[in-house]
Amino acid sequence: MPDEPYNPSPIGNPSVLARRNWWQTMLVKFIGKHTPKCREMVRILSQSMDEPMPPMMRIKKRLHFLICCWCQRYEEQLRYMRHTARHFPEHADEASDAPFSAEARERIKQKLAESAR
């Protein structure tokens, strides 16, 4: 069945389940049919970063990850981005070389001195 949409490339597919033999093919097709497609899954994964995922969807996600290492990576990478982005502000001086002008510096010091009086 060359036009079968689910996991068409078992060779080199690093997912836990790929179509490596008859029963895996059956399982992959079953899971593919009963869990959201990747295009939808990535949207759901993004939303789950902002509000809790319903329990049934959690189960579907787990099943989907068995046949799709790419969605699993996607979720890990959403967390990776969150984890690093949170620390961005403290490293902002390393992230750019925009000059903080000496005038601005002095002006702010002046204001601070006035306010602390």
Partner 1 sequence: MSASDIRVAASRWVDDHGECLYRYALVRVRKPEIAEDLVQETFLAAVRGYEKFGRRSSERSWLVGILKNKIVDHFRKLGRETSFTDMEFLSDEFSEKFVSVGFWNHDLGPHEWKPEPDEVMHRAEFWQVMRDCLSKLPEKIRAVFTMREMDCVSSKAICAVLSITDSNLWVMLHRARMALRECLEVNWFDTPAGGTV
**Which residues bind to partner 1, rule: CB under 8 A?**
5-9, 13, 32, 37-40, 42-43, 46-47, 49-51, 68, 70-71, 73-74, 76-78, 80-96, 98, 100, 104-105, 107-109, 111-113, 115-117
Closer residue to partner 1, CB minimum distance, 54 or 76: 76
Q: Find where tokens 């390393």 sit.
A: 94
Closer residue to partner 1, CB minimum distance, 47 or 59: 47
d(Cα 62, Cα 12) in Å, to the nearest integer?
Answer: 21
Closer residue to partner 1, CB minimum distance, 9 or 21: 9
